[in-house]
Structure 1
Amino acid sequence: MTDIKFEPKDYKSDQYVRWCPGCGDHAVLNCLHKAMAEVGVAPHNMAVISGIGCSSRLPYYMNTYGFHTIHGRGAAIATGVKTARPDLSVWLITGDGDCLAIGGNHFIHAVRRNVDLNIVLFNNKIYGLTKGQYSPTSDRGFVSKSSPYGTVEDPFVPAELALGARGNFFARVIDVDLKNTTEVLAASARHKGASVTEVLVNCVIFNDGIHKSIVDKEYRADRTIFLRHGEKMIFGKEGNKGLVLDGLKLKAVTIGEDGYTMDDILVHDAHEKDSTLHLMLAMMSDDMPIALGVIRDVDAPVYDEAVHQQIEEVQAKNPTRTLKDFLMKGEVWEVK
């Protein structure tokens, strides 16, 4: 952090943004610039790492340090950057194909280790850069260039994967909601440890309208619920719907009907260490609204800090400081 006041333009590079007109990635980039200005991390104290894919072009558009790496390996390289330079704010920009296919192993272990990375996962349920093949998040039966008769497999759900890897921060936003996306990205930056923010983005060329049923203003209020820590879980155009526990399951109810009152509506606790309810919220589907906002935000030991603390403790106990000291300690002999 710094006392200097930054503006979104301070994080913009001079590069022409090469995404298709109408692509949801434009909105996320705009929100990231605004979030960084809000948090106040100096551009020279940021590193933006990416793999391969449409979203992975983002480092070019940031006036920060950046590294456009190789397919699926962004999490591994970002881990190295953060471990070597824990003072930097390190961001991993990745897509559903880059992160959850070839990069799946690196992703889950970065989350499991709780490396202090801000992972932004662009999910358009398609391989866009390679021209329209189905991805690990494409729905069963999805017709694409690589599945002309429909996929015959079930998709990954990023939230389930992140929380299953013992993740401590998970959020979900939609590309057309700039205000809340900015708010969530700022929360991600402030979280110590691995944060995963899934952004539901639209690919206007190869998967146009994939999130239409929840993001269009006509449906959004009734089909999404934006969660905030400490607030009632309320949604709906009239603000008269909410979530309650019905036995061991979540249930959407209308306040004032069937005996339900505001007192029955659950209060969101993003800081609860037990992830059971967080996973239930993240996995809502069918007749339930999809959960947006920060779903889980829990403090836990951070990998890069622990590594440096361990190094300091070992060095304090060991007088060896140079390679020569190391080679000359213990038994030595001279050959004449």
Structure 2
Amino acid sequence: MTPPQKMTAKDWETDQEVRWCPGCGDYAILKAVQRTLPEIGARPENTVFVSGIGCSSRFPYYVESYGFHTIHGRAPAVATGVKLANPELDVWIITGDGDALSIGGNHTMHVLRRNLNCQILLFNNEIYGLTKGQYSPTSREGTKSPSTPYGSVDHPAKPAAFALGAGARFVARGFDVSKNLPDVLKAAYAHKGAAFVEIFQNCIVYNKDVFEDFAAPKGAEDRQLWLKDGEPMLFGSDKTGGVKGIALDRENLCLKVVDVLDGDWQAAGVIVHDVRNRSIAHMLVEMPFGAFPMALGVLYDDPAPSFEEGVIAQNEAAAKGKTPDLQKLLSLGQTWVVGPETEAADAGSAGSGHEL
């Protein structure tokens, strides 16, 4: 058998015109995914992208694979059906902050707690872009939009905190133009179960540069904490404000920023990142930006049996020792056979003077 030809990012491009606003962060995410797919050994005939409704949900048109552009908030339900029908498929869910956390919040919660083996990429631009800039569940307090002209008073949802609270076994964060985004995607793919990745994405028209406070290249080392399993939580540099780290305040059971002198992070009490520590993952998600850097990369990764594994095992146990018999199954309960005798009886009744 001839081994499959090695693929490139170009092989994952379709003939469809990519139609997002010029400068939209979705372009960068699309390229990151297309670069990642050949590196993880994915094949178009074995890959399915499922999306809901929104700017991000045009994604399946632009990836050379199978795809479903479904209805608002219901991509997880369709993806679940796909995975149960053929567990061997690689299933990716593409969604946005409004699609996944507003109308689709219930579906997002259940696909995470069930632990369906799939990758969930939530594009978070903190706004409704497709419907012209209304505030979304993740919009910051004070966001001015057509639906909140005086500024939003809503307390915003935090997608990564939502995922952890829903029981997700893999939670990560990245942003559209980051060079590290492909590594985050690879880690999500390697995880067996529901892998949730929040991707901060710039909406050039309705929420421009809302993430520049941490995503801007200049000074990024002071504002971004890229997490790596087994490595100390360090950020900053001696060229700016000095190297700093994240330590645990054991008295108050919270995280704190500490200075690292002469490279001795252990003396400063800096934490070593453990992707299996759910409690620390919660703390990292809740760190207020400004006083803390933005925690990025894989925050939590602790695999557990997937939903479809349980369903398949249950079906196999139920079918053990039984011979498939469709006719017998159809004959169960209140059933009857229509034949010549019943037709004659009906004819006699019709001629007895009864009127319908």
Query: Aligned residue for 2:73?
Result: 72
Q: Map Cα deviations across residues 133-169 of structure 1 (whole Å, 9 max, x no partner).
A: 0000001121111000111210110011100001100
Closer, same or farther in 2 for the Cα pair 1:53/1:331, shift >3 Å? closer
Structure 1 unaligned spans of 5+: none
Q: Give the letter aligned to residue 223 of structure 2.
A: R
- Give the structure 2 partner of residue 325 of structure 1: 328
Code of the residue aligned with 1:271 in structure 2: it is: R
Q: Counterpart of 1:266?
A: 271
**Structure 2 unmatched ranges of 5 or more:** 342-356
189-198 or 309-318, larger mean C-alpha shift? 309-318
Instruction: State the alpha-carbon separation in 1 of the partners of residues 6 and 41 from structure 2.
Output: 7
Query: What is residue 311 of structure 1 aligned with on the other side?
Result: 315
Coordinate RMSD, CA, aligned:
2.0
Match of 2:217 in 1: 217
Equivalent in the alignment of 2:254? 249
Q: Tell me, what secondary structure is at the counterpart of 2:312?
A: helix
Within 1, Cα distance between the matches of 2:138 and 2:200?
A: 11
Task: Measure, in 2, the Cα distance between the counterparts of 1:149 and 1:94.
Answer: 28
Aligned length: 330
Between 114-123 and 230-239, report the one with greater CA deviation: 230-239
Q: Once the 2 structures are TM-superposed, how far is the Cα of residue 318 of structure 1 from its aligned partner?
A: 3.0
CA distance in 2, matches of 1:333, 1:126: 58
Q: What residue in structure 1 maps to residue 348 of structure 2?
A: none
User: What is the CA distance between 1:210 and its match in structure 2?
Assistant: 0.6
Amino acid in structure 1 at the alignment position of 2:281: H
CA distance in 1, matches of 2:267, 2:258: 10
1:84 is matched with 85
Q: Is the 8 A contact 2:247 2:269 kept in 1?
A: yes
1:4 Cα offset (Å) = 4.1
- How many Å separate the matches in 2 of 1:12 and 1:34? 10
Q: What secondary structure, in the 3-state scheme, does the structure 1 residue paired with 2:94 have?
A: strand
CA distance in 2, matches of 1:188, 1:327: 43
Q: Matches of 1:225 and 1:103 in 2, distance apart? A: 30
CA distance in 2 between partners of 1:109 and 1:293 (Å): 24
Q: How does 1:82-231 map to 2 (within 5 A)?
A: 82-177=83-178, 179-231=179-231
Structure 1 segment 232-247 matched on structure 2, within 5 A: 232-238=232-238, 240-247=243-250
Distance 1:75 1:330, change over 3 A: closer
Q: What code does the residue aligned with 1:158 have?
A: P
Write the distance in 1 (CA, Å) between the matches of 2:151 and 2:226.
32
Alpha-carbon distance in 2 for matches of 1:48, 1:292: 24
Match of 1:21 in 2: 22
2:332 and 2:220 map into 1 onto residues whose CA distance is 69
Aligned-pair identity (%): 48
Question: Contact 2:232 / 2:265 at 8 angstroms: preserved in 1?
Answer: no
What displacement does 1:271 show?
A: 2.5
1:214-234: CA deviation from partner (whole Å, max 9, x where unpaired): 011223211110001111111
If you compute each CA radius of gyration, which structure gives the higher value, 1 or 2? Answer: 2
Q: CA offset at residue 328 of structure 1?
A: 4.7
The residue identity in structure 1 corresponding to 2:302 is V
Pair 135,313 (structure 1): closer, same or farther in 2 beyond 3 Å: same
Return the offset for 1:317. Answer: 3.8
Q: Judge conservation of contact 1:253–1:260 (CA < 8 Å) in 2.
A: no
Structure 2 counterpart of 1:280: 283
Query: Are the equivalent residues in 2 in contact too, given 1:139–1:151 (CA < 8 A)?
Result: yes
Of structures 1 and 2, the one with the larger relative CO (CA 8 A, separation 6+) is 1
SS at match of 2:219: helix
Who is 1:47 aligned against?
Answer: 48
Q: CA offset at residue 260 of structure 1?
A: 6.5
Partners of 1:333 and 1:132 in 2: CA distance: 59
SS in structure 1 opposite 2:292?
Answer: coil
Deviation, 1:330, is: 9.3
Scaled by the length of structure 1, what TM-score is found?
Answer: 0.93
Return the alpha-carbon distance in structure 2 between the equivalents of residues 131 and 331 of structure 1.
Answer: 55
Deviation at 1:325, TM superposition (A): 2.4
- CA 1:62–1:324 in 2, change beyond 3 Å: closer, same or farther? same
Residue equivalent to 2:345? none
The 3 A distance-change label for structure 1 pair 262 and 67 is farther
Give, in angstroms, the shift of residue 57 of structure 1: 0.4
Q: Which aligned pairs between 1:53-68 and structure 2 lie closer than 5 A?
A: 53-68=54-69
Q: Say if 1:147 and 1:268 are closer, same or farther in 2 by CA, change over 3 A.
A: same
Q: Distance in 2 between matches of 1:3 and 1:184?
A: 26
Superposition deviation, residue 331 in structure 1: 11
